[in-house]
Amino acid sequence: MKLFVATAEEMQRLDRYVMQDLGILPEILMERAGGSVAKAILERFPLPGYFKVLLLCGPGNNGGDGFVCARYLWNSGYQVEVLLFNEEDKYTGEAKRNLEILKTLKIPITRIHSLEEFISFVHHFKPEILVDALFGTGLKRPLSGLYEEVILFLREEKRKESFKIVSVDIPSGVSSDTGQILGSAPCADLTVTFECLKPGHLFYPGKEYSGEVEVAEIGYPWRFLLEFTKDIVPRKKYLSEDQARELFRPRRGFYHKGKAGYVFILAGSVGKSGAGYLTALGALRAGAGLVTLAGPKSLQSVYSGLLPEILTLGLPEREGEITENSSNLVIEALKGKRCLVIGPGFGLGSGPERVLLDLLQNVSLPVILDADALTILSDFPEKLKDFSYPKVITPHPGEAARLLKKETREILQDPLDSLSQLINLTGAIVVLKGPHTLIGGPDGEVFISSIDEPGMAQGGMGDVLTGIIGAFIAQGYSPFEASALAVYVHGASGSFLRKTSGPYGFTASEVANYIPQILKKLETRNA
Protein backbone atom coordinates (compact mmCIF):
# COMPACT_ATOMS: atom_id res chain seq x y z
CA MET A 1 0.00 0.00 0.00
CA LYS A 2 1.19 3.51 -0.79
CA LEU A 3 1.97 5.50 2.34
CA PHE A 4 0.75 9.08 2.27
CA VAL A 5 1.88 12.12 4.23
CA ALA A 6 -1.07 14.29 5.30
CA THR A 7 -1.38 17.72 6.86
CA ALA A 8 -3.88 18.32 9.67
CA GLU A 9 -6.37 19.81 7.21
CA GLU A 10 -6.02 16.83 4.86
CA MET A 11 -6.58 14.40 7.72
CA GLN A 12 -9.69 16.31 8.82
CA ARG A 13 -11.02 16.15 5.26
CA LEU A 14 -10.33 12.41 5.10
CA ASP A 15 -11.96 11.82 8.48
CA ARG A 16 -15.07 13.74 7.48
CA TYR A 17 -15.41 11.85 4.22
CA VAL A 18 -14.89 8.43 5.79
CA MET A 19 -17.37 9.13 8.58
CA GLN A 20 -20.02 11.26 6.88
CA ASP A 21 -19.99 10.06 3.26
CA LEU A 22 -18.98 6.43 3.74
CA GLY A 23 -20.79 5.96 7.05
CA ILE A 24 -17.94 4.48 9.10
CA LEU A 25 -18.86 5.45 12.65
CA PRO A 26 -16.42 7.65 14.59
CA GLU A 27 -16.73 5.25 17.52
CA ILE A 28 -15.26 2.51 15.32
CA LEU A 29 -12.33 4.67 14.26
CA MET A 30 -11.59 5.71 17.87
CA GLU A 31 -11.80 2.09 19.04
CA ARG A 32 -9.31 1.00 16.40
CA ALA A 33 -7.04 3.98 17.03
CA GLY A 34 -6.83 3.47 20.79
CA GLY A 35 -6.56 -0.29 20.33
CA SER A 36 -3.66 0.13 17.92
CA VAL A 37 -1.75 2.22 20.46
CA ALA A 38 -2.30 -0.46 23.09
CA LYS A 39 -1.19 -3.16 20.65
CA ALA A 40 2.03 -1.27 19.91
CA ILE A 41 2.73 -0.96 23.64
CA LEU A 42 2.06 -4.66 24.20
CA GLU A 43 4.49 -5.56 21.43
CA ARG A 44 7.33 -3.22 22.42
CA PHE A 45 6.94 -2.95 26.18
CA PRO A 46 5.39 -6.25 27.23
CA LEU A 47 4.49 -7.63 30.61
CA PRO A 48 6.08 -8.46 33.02
CA GLY A 49 9.03 -6.20 32.13
CA TYR A 50 6.67 -3.22 32.10
CA PHE A 51 3.66 -3.01 34.37
CA LYS A 52 2.67 0.51 35.45
CA VAL A 53 1.11 2.73 32.76
CA LEU A 54 0.13 6.36 33.27
CA LEU A 55 -2.11 7.90 30.59
CA LEU A 56 -2.28 11.70 30.21
CA CYS A 57 -5.56 12.46 28.42
CA GLY A 58 -6.40 15.80 26.88
CA PRO A 59 -9.75 17.40 26.10
CA GLY A 60 -10.45 16.16 22.56
CA ASN A 61 -10.41 12.99 20.48
CA ASN A 62 -6.73 12.45 21.27
CA GLY A 63 -7.81 12.03 24.89
CA GLY A 64 -10.58 9.70 23.71
CA ASP A 65 -8.00 7.52 21.97
CA GLY A 66 -6.15 7.47 25.29
CA PHE A 67 -9.27 6.23 27.10
CA VAL A 68 -9.60 3.31 24.66
CA CYS A 69 -5.90 2.53 25.02
CA ALA A 70 -6.24 2.53 28.81
CA ARG A 71 -9.08 -0.01 28.64
CA TYR A 72 -7.13 -2.40 26.40
CA LEU A 73 -4.00 -2.18 28.54
CA TRP A 74 -5.99 -2.66 31.76
CA ASN A 75 -7.70 -5.70 30.26
CA SER A 76 -4.28 -7.11 29.30
CA GLY A 77 -3.06 -6.98 32.89
CA TYR A 78 -1.20 -3.68 33.20
CA GLN A 79 -1.70 -1.44 36.23
CA VAL A 80 -3.33 1.59 34.65
CA GLU A 81 -3.93 5.13 35.91
CA VAL A 82 -5.68 7.81 33.83
CA LEU A 83 -5.11 11.53 34.42
CA LEU A 84 -7.50 14.24 33.21
CA PHE A 85 -6.49 17.88 32.85
CA ASN A 86 -9.96 19.33 32.31
CA GLU A 87 -13.44 18.75 33.68
CA GLU A 88 -15.31 15.64 32.57
CA ASP A 89 -18.21 17.66 31.16
CA LYS A 90 -15.85 19.03 28.48
CA TYR A 91 -15.86 15.66 26.73
CA THR A 92 -18.44 14.95 24.03
CA GLY A 93 -19.34 12.22 21.58
CA GLU A 94 -17.24 9.08 21.41
CA ALA A 95 -14.59 10.48 23.78
CA LYS A 96 -17.28 10.99 26.48
CA ARG A 97 -18.64 7.47 25.90
CA ASN A 98 -15.19 5.92 26.30
CA LEU A 99 -14.61 7.90 29.49
CA GLU A 100 -17.90 6.55 30.87
CA ILE A 101 -16.78 3.01 30.01
CA LEU A 102 -13.60 3.51 32.08
CA LYS A 103 -15.71 4.68 35.01
CA THR A 104 -18.02 1.68 34.68
CA LEU A 105 -15.00 -0.65 34.70
CA LYS A 106 -13.66 1.22 37.76
CA ILE A 107 -10.37 1.99 36.05
CA PRO A 108 -8.71 4.70 38.22
CA ILE A 109 -9.21 8.25 36.91
CA THR A 110 -7.73 11.34 38.58
CA ARG A 111 -8.38 14.99 37.77
CA ILE A 112 -5.17 17.06 37.88
CA HIS A 113 -5.49 20.75 38.78
CA SER A 114 -1.87 21.87 39.27
CA LEU A 115 1.71 21.01 38.45
CA GLU A 116 2.41 20.19 42.08
CA GLU A 117 -0.44 17.69 42.09
CA PHE A 118 0.89 16.09 38.90
CA ILE A 119 4.46 15.87 40.18
CA SER A 120 3.28 14.26 43.42
CA PHE A 121 1.22 11.72 41.48
CA VAL A 122 4.11 10.77 39.17
CA HIS A 123 6.57 10.38 42.05
CA HIS A 124 4.12 8.25 43.99
CA PHE A 125 2.96 6.04 41.10
CA LYS A 126 6.39 5.67 39.43
CA PRO A 127 5.14 4.81 35.92
CA GLU A 128 7.19 2.63 33.59
CA ILE A 129 5.19 3.73 30.54
CA LEU A 130 3.62 7.16 30.06
CA VAL A 131 1.08 7.62 27.28
CA ASP A 132 0.85 11.16 25.88
CA ALA A 133 -2.74 11.57 24.69
CA LEU A 134 -3.01 15.29 25.40
CA PHE A 135 -3.12 16.93 21.95
CA GLY A 136 -3.04 15.55 18.41
CA THR A 137 -2.67 16.95 14.92
CA GLY A 138 -5.23 19.73 15.45
CA LEU A 139 -3.00 21.77 17.75
CA LYS A 140 -2.30 25.21 16.20
CA ARG A 141 -1.12 27.43 19.05
CA PRO A 142 1.72 26.99 21.57
CA LEU A 143 1.05 24.99 24.71
CA SER A 144 0.61 27.16 27.76
CA GLY A 145 -0.41 27.00 31.40
CA LEU A 146 -0.62 23.62 33.08
CA TYR A 147 -0.11 21.70 29.85
CA GLU A 148 3.20 23.40 29.15
CA GLU A 149 4.31 22.96 32.78
CA VAL A 150 3.50 19.24 32.66
CA ILE A 151 5.45 18.72 29.41
CA LEU A 152 8.46 20.65 30.69
CA PHE A 153 8.48 18.55 33.87
CA LEU A 154 8.25 15.32 31.86
CA ARG A 155 11.19 16.31 29.68
CA GLU A 156 13.29 16.98 32.75
CA GLU A 157 12.08 13.88 34.57
CA LYS A 158 12.78 11.60 31.62
CA ARG A 159 16.45 12.51 31.83
CA LYS A 160 16.52 11.00 35.35
CA GLU A 161 13.95 8.20 35.14
CA SER A 162 13.75 5.23 32.81
CA PHE A 163 10.05 5.38 31.85
CA LYS A 164 9.03 5.15 28.21
CA ILE A 165 6.85 7.78 26.54
CA VAL A 166 4.36 6.74 23.86
CA SER A 167 2.61 9.57 21.99
CA VAL A 168 -0.79 9.19 20.35
CA ASP A 169 -0.76 10.45 16.73
CA ILE A 170 1.98 13.05 17.31
CA PRO A 171 3.82 14.26 20.42
CA SER A 172 1.77 17.00 22.11
CA GLY A 173 3.25 20.36 21.15
CA VAL A 174 4.73 19.30 17.80
CA SER A 175 3.16 21.05 14.82
CA SER A 176 1.71 18.34 12.63
CA ASP A 177 2.30 20.37 9.46
CA THR A 178 5.84 21.71 9.98
CA GLY A 179 7.57 19.82 12.79
CA GLN A 180 8.10 23.07 14.71
CA ILE A 181 7.65 22.99 18.48
CA LEU A 182 4.61 24.87 19.77
CA GLY A 183 5.90 25.88 23.17
CA SER A 184 7.19 22.51 24.38
CA ALA A 185 6.83 18.83 23.56
CA PRO A 186 7.75 15.49 25.15
CA CYS A 187 10.50 13.36 23.65
CA ALA A 188 8.60 10.19 22.75
CA ASP A 189 10.19 6.78 22.44
CA LEU A 190 7.32 5.71 20.19
CA THR A 191 4.60 7.58 18.30
CA VAL A 192 1.62 5.68 16.95
CA THR A 193 -0.11 7.64 14.20
CA PHE A 194 -3.12 6.71 12.13
CA GLU A 195 -3.41 5.89 8.41
CA CYS A 196 -0.96 8.58 7.19
CA LEU A 197 2.37 9.96 8.29
CA LYS A 198 2.35 13.63 9.22
CA PRO A 199 4.99 16.17 8.08
CA GLY A 200 5.79 16.81 11.75
CA HIS A 201 7.06 13.23 12.10
CA LEU A 202 9.62 13.82 9.34
CA PHE A 203 10.78 17.42 9.61
CA TYR A 204 13.12 18.67 12.30
CA PRO A 205 12.85 19.34 15.16
CA GLY A 206 9.60 17.35 15.34
CA LYS A 207 11.32 14.21 14.10
CA GLU A 208 13.62 14.20 17.12
CA TYR A 209 10.60 14.33 19.44
CA SER A 210 8.64 11.57 17.66
CA GLY A 211 11.00 8.65 18.28
CA GLU A 212 10.04 5.51 16.38
CA VAL A 213 6.90 6.17 14.33
CA GLU A 214 4.36 3.44 13.60
CA VAL A 215 1.53 4.04 11.14
CA ALA A 216 -1.54 2.06 12.23
CA GLU A 217 -4.44 1.24 9.94
CA ILE A 218 -7.77 1.98 11.62
CA GLY A 219 -10.20 1.18 8.81
CA TYR A 220 -9.87 3.68 5.97
CA PRO A 221 -11.01 1.92 2.75
CA TRP A 222 -8.00 2.93 0.66
CA ARG A 223 -8.96 0.78 -2.30
CA PHE A 224 -12.16 2.78 -2.69
CA LEU A 225 -10.53 6.13 -1.88
CA LEU A 226 -7.79 5.67 -4.48
CA GLU A 227 -10.18 4.54 -7.19
CA PHE A 228 -13.14 6.87 -6.72
CA THR A 229 -12.15 9.87 -4.58
CA LYS A 230 -8.70 10.96 -5.68
CA ASP A 231 -9.51 14.57 -4.78
CA ILE A 232 -9.77 13.49 -1.13
CA VAL A 233 -6.50 11.54 -1.07
CA PRO A 234 -3.38 13.53 -0.01
CA ARG A 235 -1.04 14.44 -2.88
CA LYS A 236 2.08 13.81 -0.80
CA LYS A 237 3.56 10.31 -0.93
CA TYR A 238 6.24 8.78 1.27
CA LEU A 239 9.14 7.80 -0.99
CA SER A 240 10.03 4.41 0.46
CA GLU A 241 11.72 1.44 -1.20
CA ASP A 242 8.29 0.10 -2.17
CA GLN A 243 7.40 3.37 -3.87
CA ALA A 244 10.79 3.51 -5.63
CA ARG A 245 10.23 -0.03 -6.88
CA GLU A 246 6.96 1.10 -8.46
CA LEU A 247 8.81 3.88 -10.28
CA PHE A 248 11.77 1.75 -11.40
CA ARG A 249 11.60 0.14 -14.85
CA PRO A 250 13.99 -2.79 -15.38
CA ARG A 251 15.60 -3.02 -18.78
CA ARG A 252 14.11 -5.66 -21.04
CA GLY A 253 15.07 -7.03 -24.46
CA PHE A 254 17.41 -5.43 -26.98
CA TYR A 255 19.23 -2.49 -25.43
CA HIS A 256 22.06 -0.24 -26.58
CA LYS A 257 23.76 2.96 -25.43
CA GLY A 258 21.55 5.11 -27.62
CA LYS A 259 18.46 3.68 -25.97
CA ALA A 260 20.03 4.34 -22.55
CA GLY A 261 20.17 8.03 -23.44
CA TYR A 262 22.67 10.82 -23.81
CA VAL A 263 23.31 13.34 -21.00
CA PHE A 264 25.08 16.63 -21.62
CA ILE A 265 26.66 18.21 -18.53
CA LEU A 266 27.93 21.78 -18.41
CA ALA A 267 29.82 22.01 -15.15
CA GLY A 268 33.12 22.65 -13.45
CA SER A 269 35.64 25.48 -13.36
CA VAL A 270 39.19 25.81 -12.16
CA GLY A 271 39.14 25.12 -8.42
CA LYS A 272 35.76 23.38 -8.68
CA SER A 273 36.57 20.67 -11.22
CA GLY A 274 35.41 17.93 -8.83
CA ALA A 275 31.81 19.08 -9.22
CA GLY A 276 31.83 18.29 -12.93
CA TYR A 277 33.51 14.93 -12.37
CA LEU A 278 31.02 13.88 -9.66
CA THR A 279 28.01 14.91 -11.75
CA ALA A 280 29.28 12.82 -14.66
CA LEU A 281 30.08 9.90 -12.37
CA GLY A 282 26.54 9.99 -10.97
CA ALA A 283 25.09 9.95 -14.49
CA LEU A 284 27.23 7.01 -15.59
CA ARG A 285 26.58 4.96 -12.47
CA ALA A 286 22.83 5.54 -12.86
CA GLY A 287 22.91 4.03 -16.34
CA ALA A 288 23.22 6.83 -18.89
CA GLY A 289 24.35 5.41 -22.23
CA LEU A 290 26.57 8.36 -23.08
CA VAL A 291 27.76 11.37 -21.09
CA THR A 292 29.48 14.49 -22.37
CA LEU A 293 31.11 16.75 -19.79
CA ALA A 294 31.69 20.28 -21.07
CA GLY A 295 33.75 22.90 -19.28
CA PRO A 296 36.90 25.01 -19.46
CA LYS A 297 39.35 23.62 -22.02
CA SER A 298 42.12 23.35 -19.41
CA LEU A 299 40.11 20.78 -17.44
CA GLN A 300 39.45 18.31 -20.26
CA SER A 301 42.59 16.26 -19.73
CA VAL A 302 41.77 16.11 -16.02
CA TYR A 303 38.27 14.80 -16.71
CA SER A 304 39.44 12.30 -19.32
CA GLY A 305 42.02 10.94 -16.91
CA LEU A 306 39.57 10.64 -14.02
CA LEU A 307 36.69 9.17 -16.03
CA PRO A 308 37.71 7.68 -19.38
CA GLU A 309 34.14 6.49 -20.07
CA ILE A 310 32.88 10.03 -20.70
CA LEU A 311 33.21 12.33 -23.70
CA THR A 312 34.50 15.84 -23.10
CA LEU A 313 34.04 19.21 -24.73
CA GLY A 314 36.59 21.92 -24.05
CA LEU A 315 35.24 25.46 -24.09
CA PRO A 316 36.99 28.86 -24.27
CA GLU A 317 37.93 30.09 -20.83
CA ARG A 318 38.92 33.20 -18.93
CA GLU A 319 40.26 33.11 -15.39
CA GLY A 320 39.21 29.48 -15.02
CA GLU A 321 35.59 29.87 -16.17
CA ILE A 322 33.99 29.50 -19.58
CA THR A 323 33.57 32.68 -21.63
CA GLU A 324 30.52 34.30 -23.21
CA ASN A 325 31.33 32.96 -26.68
CA SER A 326 30.87 29.35 -25.50
CA SER A 327 27.09 29.48 -26.05
CA ASN A 328 26.98 28.55 -29.74
CA LEU A 329 29.43 25.68 -29.22
CA VAL A 330 27.22 24.22 -26.51
CA ILE A 331 23.98 24.72 -28.48
CA GLU A 332 25.51 22.90 -31.44
CA ALA A 333 26.77 20.09 -29.21
CA LEU A 334 23.30 19.58 -27.67
CA LYS A 335 21.93 18.04 -30.87
CA GLY A 336 20.86 14.47 -30.17
CA LYS A 337 21.09 14.82 -26.39
CA ARG A 338 18.15 13.96 -24.15
CA CYS A 339 18.82 16.34 -21.29
CA LEU A 340 21.07 19.19 -20.21
CA VAL A 341 22.57 19.42 -16.73
CA ILE A 342 24.01 22.80 -15.87
CA GLY A 343 25.46 24.37 -12.75
CA PRO A 344 27.69 22.22 -10.50
CA GLY A 345 30.97 24.11 -10.04
CA PHE A 346 29.98 26.20 -13.07
CA GLY A 347 31.26 29.54 -11.83
CA LEU A 348 29.55 32.85 -11.13
CA GLY A 349 31.33 35.22 -13.51
CA SER A 350 29.95 37.06 -16.54
CA GLY A 351 30.83 34.17 -18.88
CA PRO A 352 28.83 31.47 -17.08
CA GLU A 353 25.94 33.89 -16.55
CA ARG A 354 25.73 34.82 -20.26
CA VAL A 355 25.98 31.19 -21.38
CA LEU A 356 23.27 30.11 -18.92
CA LEU A 357 20.85 32.75 -20.16
CA ASP A 358 21.60 31.97 -23.82
CA LEU A 359 20.96 28.26 -23.24
CA LEU A 360 17.70 28.81 -21.37
CA GLN A 361 16.42 30.89 -24.30
CA ASN A 362 17.53 28.50 -27.06
CA VAL A 363 17.13 24.89 -25.90
CA SER A 364 14.07 22.65 -26.06
CA LEU A 365 15.20 19.57 -24.12
CA PRO A 366 14.73 18.97 -20.36
CA VAL A 367 17.11 21.08 -18.25
CA ILE A 368 18.38 20.35 -14.73
CA LEU A 369 19.68 23.40 -12.87
CA ASP A 370 21.84 23.11 -9.76
CA ALA A 371 24.39 24.94 -7.63
CA ASP A 372 25.98 27.94 -9.40
CA ALA A 373 23.21 28.02 -12.00
CA LEU A 374 20.69 28.55 -9.19
CA THR A 375 22.83 31.27 -7.64
CA ILE A 376 22.95 33.11 -10.97
CA LEU A 377 19.18 32.72 -11.36
CA SER A 378 18.47 33.98 -7.83
CA ASP A 379 18.28 37.54 -9.21
CA PHE A 380 15.47 36.62 -11.60
CA PRO A 381 14.13 33.08 -10.81
CA GLU A 382 10.68 33.91 -12.19
CA LYS A 383 12.21 33.97 -15.71
CA LEU A 384 12.19 30.17 -15.67
CA LYS A 385 8.41 30.33 -16.09
CA ASP A 386 8.93 31.82 -19.55
CA PHE A 387 10.27 28.52 -20.91
CA SER A 388 7.91 25.66 -21.75
CA TYR A 389 10.40 22.77 -21.75
CA PRO A 390 10.70 20.61 -18.59
CA LYS A 391 12.88 22.13 -15.89
CA VAL A 392 14.22 20.59 -12.68
CA ILE A 393 15.88 22.70 -9.99
CA THR A 394 17.72 21.09 -7.09
CA PRO A 395 18.33 23.69 -4.35
CA HIS A 396 19.59 23.00 -0.86
CA PRO A 397 17.99 25.23 1.84
CA GLY A 398 20.57 28.00 1.38
CA GLU A 399 19.99 28.13 -2.39
CA ALA A 400 16.23 27.99 -1.83
CA ALA A 401 16.53 30.96 0.52
CA ARG A 402 18.35 32.97 -2.15
CA LEU A 403 15.73 32.13 -4.75
CA LEU A 404 12.86 33.11 -2.43
CA LYS A 405 14.65 36.12 -0.89
CA LYS A 406 14.34 34.62 2.57
CA GLU A 407 16.54 33.44 5.40
CA THR A 408 17.61 29.79 5.45
CA ARG A 409 15.90 29.29 8.80
CA GLU A 410 12.58 30.29 7.19
CA ILE A 411 13.01 27.55 4.58
CA LEU A 412 13.63 24.98 7.30
CA GLN A 413 10.72 26.16 9.45
CA ASP A 414 8.18 25.06 6.82
CA PRO A 415 9.77 22.93 4.07
CA LEU A 416 6.46 22.08 2.39
CA ASP A 417 5.45 25.71 2.09
CA SER A 418 8.93 26.57 0.80
CA LEU A 419 8.61 23.82 -1.81
CA SER A 420 5.24 25.19 -2.93
CA GLN A 421 6.61 28.73 -3.20
CA LEU A 422 9.57 27.56 -5.30
CA ILE A 423 7.28 25.68 -7.68
CA ASN A 424 4.96 28.67 -8.05
CA LEU A 425 7.90 31.02 -8.58
CA THR A 426 9.73 29.00 -11.23
CA GLY A 427 7.19 26.63 -12.77
CA ALA A 428 9.82 23.91 -12.35
CA ILE A 429 9.97 20.52 -10.74
CA VAL A 430 11.73 21.23 -7.44
CA VAL A 431 14.02 18.90 -5.52
CA LEU A 432 14.42 20.64 -2.14
CA LYS A 433 17.40 18.83 -0.67
CA GLY A 434 17.93 18.04 2.99
CA PRO A 435 16.78 15.49 5.55
CA HIS A 436 13.78 13.76 3.91
CA THR A 437 14.33 15.56 0.59
CA LEU A 438 11.14 16.89 -1.04
CA ILE A 439 10.26 16.49 -4.70
CA GLY A 440 7.34 18.51 -6.04
CA GLY A 441 5.89 19.45 -9.41
CA PRO A 442 3.55 22.09 -10.82
CA ASP A 443 0.69 19.55 -10.89
CA GLY A 444 0.68 19.33 -7.09
CA GLU A 445 2.25 15.89 -6.71
CA VAL A 446 4.85 15.62 -3.95
CA PHE A 447 7.22 12.90 -2.79
CA ILE A 448 8.90 13.06 0.61
CA SER A 449 11.98 10.86 0.85
CA SER A 450 12.02 8.21 3.55
CA ILE A 451 15.78 8.63 3.90
CA ASP A 452 17.59 10.93 6.32
CA GLU A 453 21.34 10.26 6.34
CA PRO A 454 23.48 12.74 8.34
CA GLY A 455 26.59 11.07 6.93
CA MET A 456 25.72 12.52 3.51
CA ALA A 457 26.32 16.06 4.78
CA GLN A 458 29.47 16.45 2.73
CA GLY A 459 30.55 18.32 -0.40
CA GLY A 460 29.79 16.70 -3.74
CA MET A 461 26.71 14.70 -2.70
CA GLY A 462 24.36 17.08 -4.51
CA ASP A 463 26.48 16.92 -7.68
CA VAL A 464 26.07 13.15 -7.77
CA LEU A 465 22.30 13.48 -7.29
CA THR A 466 22.05 15.95 -10.18
CA GLY A 467 23.86 13.49 -12.44
CA ILE A 468 21.54 10.66 -11.42
CA ILE A 469 18.47 12.76 -12.27
CA GLY A 470 19.95 13.49 -15.70
CA ALA A 471 20.63 9.80 -16.31
CA PHE A 472 17.07 8.76 -15.50
CA ILE A 473 15.58 11.49 -17.71
CA ALA A 474 17.86 10.33 -20.54
CA GLN A 475 16.56 6.77 -20.05
CA GLY A 476 12.98 7.87 -20.63
CA TYR A 477 11.58 8.59 -17.18
CA SER A 478 9.48 11.72 -16.88
CA PRO A 479 11.42 14.52 -15.16
CA PHE A 480 9.26 14.15 -12.03
CA GLU A 481 9.69 10.36 -11.90
CA ALA A 482 13.40 10.72 -12.62
CA SER A 483 13.82 13.20 -9.78
CA ALA A 484 11.97 11.03 -7.28
CA LEU A 485 13.73 7.82 -8.25
CA ALA A 486 17.11 9.58 -8.20
CA VAL A 487 16.50 10.93 -4.70
CA TYR A 488 15.68 7.44 -3.44
CA VAL A 489 18.62 5.70 -5.16
CA HIS A 490 21.05 8.40 -4.00
CA GLY A 491 19.84 8.21 -0.40
CA ALA A 492 19.71 4.41 -0.36
CA SER A 493 23.33 4.30 -1.47
CA GLY A 494 24.25 6.56 1.44
CA SER A 495 22.26 4.34 3.82
CA PHE A 496 24.16 1.28 2.66
CA LEU A 497 27.50 3.01 3.21
CA ARG A 498 26.46 4.08 6.70
CA LYS A 499 25.71 0.48 7.57
CA THR A 500 28.85 -0.98 6.01
CA SER A 501 31.48 1.76 6.37
CA GLY A 502 30.46 3.88 9.32
CA PRO A 503 28.07 6.68 10.29
CA TYR A 504 30.00 9.27 8.25
CA GLY A 505 33.28 9.73 6.40
CA PHE A 506 32.16 8.05 3.17
CA THR A 507 32.48 10.27 0.10
CA ALA A 508 30.28 11.40 -2.76
CA SER A 509 32.20 9.25 -5.24
CA GLU A 510 31.61 6.21 -3.01
CA VAL A 511 27.89 7.00 -2.99
CA ALA A 512 27.94 7.16 -6.79
CA ASN A 513 29.87 3.92 -7.13
CA TYR A 514 27.35 1.97 -5.07
CA ILE A 515 24.35 3.07 -7.17
CA PRO A 516 24.38 -0.07 -9.40
CA GLN A 517 23.88 -2.22 -6.31
CA ILE A 518 20.79 -0.21 -5.34
CA LEU A 519 19.45 -0.60 -8.89
CA LYS A 520 20.12 -4.33 -8.67
CA LYS A 521 18.10 -4.49 -5.47
CA LEU A 522 15.18 -2.66 -7.08
CA GLU A 523 15.34 -4.85 -10.19
CA THR A 524 15.56 -8.11 -8.22
CA ARG A 525 12.45 -7.29 -6.23
CA ASN A 526 10.64 -6.27 -9.40
CA ALA A 527 11.40 -9.56 -11.09
Does the annotation place 362 within a ligand binding site?
no
Q: CA 356, CA 322: separation in Å to the nearest integer?
A: 11
Does the annotation place 77 within a ligand binding site?
no
Degrees, nearest 5: CA angle 273-279-282: 140
Per-residue pLDDT, 444: 95
DSSP string of 344-404? TT---SHHHHHHHHHHHHH--S-EEE-THHHHHHTTSGGGGGG--S-EEE---HHHHHHHH
Does the annotation place 201 within a ligand binding site?
no
Does the annotation place 386 within a ligand binding site?
no
218: nearest Cα among 17, 27, 6, 23? 27
Does the annotation place 98 within a ligand binding site?
no
SS3 78: coil
Does the annotation place 169 within a ligand binding site?
yes
Does the annotation place 141 within a ligand binding site?
yes
Per-residue pLDDT, 1: 55
Across 58-187, the runs of DSSP E, i.e. the strands, are: 79-84, 109-111, 129-133, 164-168
Does the annotation place 434 within a ligand binding site?
yes
Does the annotation place 463 within a ligand binding site?
yes
Q: What is the pLDDT of residues 41-89, one digit of tens each?
A: 999 999 999 999 999 999 999 999 999 999 999 999 999 999 999 999 8
Q: What is the pLDDT of residues 330-345, one digit of tens each?
A: 999 999 999 999 999 9
Q: Residue 162 carries which side chain, given as an amino acid letter?
A: S
Does the annotation place 345 within a ligand binding site?
yes
Does the annotation place 268 within a ligand binding site?
no
Using 50 as the pLDDT threshold, list the residues of the chain that sit under it.
none
Going along the chain from its start, the domains and CATH numbers come out as 8-234 (3.40.50.10260), 243-523 (3.40.1190.20)
Does the annotation place 130 within a ligand binding site?
no
Does the annotation place 502 within a ligand binding site?
no
Per-residue pLDDT, 257: 93
Does the annotation place 3 within a ligand binding site?
no
Does the annotation place 396 within a ligand binding site?
yes
Does the annotation place 137 within a ligand binding site?
yes
Burial 2-34 (b: 16+ CB within 10 A, else e): ebbbbbbebbebbbebbeeeeebebbebbbbbb
Per-residue pLDDT, 507: 97
Instruction: Report the chain's C-alpha Rg in angstroms.
Output: 27
Does the annotation place 138 within a ligand binding site?
yes
Within 10 A of 80 (CB to CB), how many other CB atoms are there?
Answer: 26
